[in-house]
Chains A and B, each alone.
Chain A
Amino acid sequence: MYCCLCGKDDYGEGKLLALAFEFSPIVERTAADAVTFDASGLDRLFGLPQDVAAAVARRAAESRVKASIAIASNPDAAICAARGFSGVSMIPYGDEAKFLGELPLGLLAPSPELQETLERWGIRRFRELGALPPLGIAERLGPEGLRLRELARGEAERKLLPLEDAARFEDEIELEYPVELLEPLAFLLARLLNGLTSSLATRALATNELRLRLRLENRETHERTLRLPVPSLDAKAFLKLMQLDLEAHPPQAPIVHVWMGANPVKPQAAQSGLFIPVAPEPVKLELTLARIKAIVGENRAGIAERLNTHRPDAFRMMECSLHVGQAGSLQRVVNPLADGAPSGPSSDRSHDRKGVVAGISKTSHNRKAGQGAGRGPGGPPYVLRLFRPPRPARVTVAAMGPSYIAAENIRGKVIELAGPWRTSGDWWTLDPWLRDEWDLALSDGALYRVYCEPRGWFVEGSYD
């Protein structure tokens, strides 16, 4: 099955070709105003041949290409129909001669001598030439006449001379009026995304990266890149992700030009198992995360990774690009979002777990109980709830240590205490830290960790 697009290209020479390449990698530049492409296999994507024709026509309208479209079983019949009839033409297999019969012979562009001869014979239409006996034509007009007869009957068989596929998955729209709101922009994005995804789908490809470039009225450019954990072709999900991203990072001026490009990759084929724990669907999860980040903030959703330092509460949030691994696990990519505390220079992490920091080691006594699998002699280890940021406290100090604490929502007499445990680190950098820690039981019944540093007293958290 072949499809021919014939028409004037008002917006530059590449529009017809780009449209054809959206549907097939085998495209022939038939003439300056016509391109032909191999449409076999498109029925699996779109359905019946008329559905294929409708899809091509719809995309042509979206791309503002005014072209007549013809689908036939051979390329020359499609070309003749596209040149001879306006709109969309479908030529059923076997009915080519009947369908093309009324077209004038001039469409076949015969040589002037041959055309003069045929006119003298009174033959002006395809049907009249097709009715002549082939032997007589061959004797009188030679191979060229025979070729013209085959074309007129729609029986000519040949291969397309395909152009090299540029494999550039990008599209753009120049706007007549600047777009200020994101809602109308979404319609334009949807159009570009539909084109790109259908173009990728026809080549059995998917994308894991979409690039959006918006040219603004103030001559600046606003660029956004959307990376996906797994290749996908879900245009609706892409659109929603882009909308959320643009809501979080809106352009600073009205938009006058939209360009979008997709990175083509092979689609992911994964075999799931009956006994693998359920895991979030990657694209759906990406969408959920984008929605959540729009609510809580860009850097506030992800996977925590502890930093290789002894500094308290040192972690960073990793970009949560969760995708299904072999065991259905969440996985992360190295893309730090925000740190919980500034990291010091690297030191052996195992040191941190073993506890010796500086001065008196609290962890060497206290924190061994729940190490490893986190199971002591009884239940799980008693964990700390942190106050972020630590709550400044007013502390009355007696001979044995703090005797009274007052901080935000915390007030009480110290009933029992342990400490101080002195820790320090990063003294060789511009951002050293030094603190004395106490574990306190207050009269309100709760257990807290408080510390004293040069800036004052703070409640770090409560044991819970």
Chain B
Amino acid sequence: MNAAVLKKQFESELGGLLDWQSRPAPDIVPTGIAEVDGAIGGLPRGSLTEIFGPASSGRTSLLISILATATARQESCALVDAGDAFDPASAEAAGVLLERVLWIRCGHNAEHALKAVDLLIQGGGFGLVAMDLGDTPPAIARRISMVSWFRLRRAVEYTPTVLVTLARQSNAKTCASLMLECARERVTWTGARPCSRLLRGMSIRVARRKPSATGAAHVLLPLW
């Protein structure tokens, strides 16, 4: 007797279709940027979210905003910094409560970062675990095998942790539940050259690439 026959028997006994394969919708947490939340709906817990884009595309600002929102919720967060690029001053100015963020500096070693993330997820208890591969050269980031990404995806599954990775290009591919692509649109300068010229900020575009390539947000990022 195979599974289909058993299912039919159950359904006939219970008088309705059995929905035993669909999963409950994951809990969603906000990114802290109203435009992005409105367009993509937020970040799912228990899933891998990938943020990617070129340098100066606002991807770090998005990650810092996610960190700030998570720490404001009194959650314990971990930032695994492969490139040692985290700036505590910028983060604090963006509203991140530094005392709630465990910062792991991997000294430009992506392999160490992967191991650290794996250990943190296995240890449990974190509301957000972020892995920053933003300065890792694409050739090295691509060397991370799909098995490693799959392992991370399975490790974070059914946990209340939001796992976010940041890179120059998409690496996790099918293992990511949500992929956000950042792109810069316009840089705002004000004042006259030379002495009064000021960098005011930048507007970026955050587009969802997965699960469906619909939804994009335009965000203006002022310089802190």
Contact residues of A with B, CB < 8 Å?
A: 276-281, 284-285, 287-289, 291-292, 295-297, 300-306, 313, 315, 317, 320, 322, 327-332, 340, 353, 365-367, 369-388, 400-401, 409, 416-419, 439, 441, 444-447, 461-464
Contact = CB atoms under 8 A, between A and B. Distances in A.
Contact of B73 (A277, A462, A463): A277
B60 A464 contact: yes
A330 B220 contact: no
Interface of B: 32-33, 35-36, 54-62, 64-65, 68, 73-76, 83-96, 98-107, 109, 112, 115-116, 119-120, 122-127, 134-135, 137, 160, 184, 187, 189, 191, 193-194, 197-203, 219-224
Nearest to B184: A445
Question: Interface residues of B: mostly helix, strand, loop or mixed?
Answer: mixed
Contacts of A417: 197
Nearest to B84: A388
A29 B134 CA distance: 68
Leading 9 A-B pairs by shortest Cβ distance: A378-B220, A280-B125, A381-B224, A376-B222, A374-B95, A370-B224, A288-B123, A374-B94, A383-B90
A370 B94 contact: yes
A357 B66 CA distance: 30
B224 A277 contact: no
Nearest to A380: B65
7 contacts: A285-B123, A288-B120, A296-B116, A329-B99, A378-B201, A380-B61, A380-B64
A369 B99 contact: no
A329 B76 CA distance: 6
Nearest to A307: B88
B98 to A, nearest CB: 5
Given A277-B127, A370-B94, 18 more contacts: A281-B124, A285-B125, A300-B107, A304-B86, A305-B99, A306-B88, A313-B87, A328-B74, A331-B99, A370-B93, A371-B93, A380-B64, A382-B221, A383-B87, A384-B90, A385-B83, A385-B135, A418-B191
A277 B126 CA distance: 9
A365 B198 contact: yes
B112 A295 contact: yes
Nearest to B219: A379
A381 B222 contact: yes
Given A284-B125, A418-B197, A447-B202, A464 B59 contact: yes
A380 B62 CA distance: 8
B26 to A, nearest CB: 15
B100 to A, nearest CB: 5
Contacts of A295: 112, 115-116
Contacts of B220: 376-379
Contacts of B92: 306
A244 to B, nearest CB: 12
B122 to A, nearest CB: 8
B124 A302 contact: no
Nearest to B101: A303
Contacts of B74: 276-277, 327-329
Contact of A416 (B56, B89, B122, B187): B187
A433 B28 CA distance: 46
B99 A383 contact: no
B147 to A, nearest CB: 19
Contact of A446 (B54, B96, B112, B201): B54
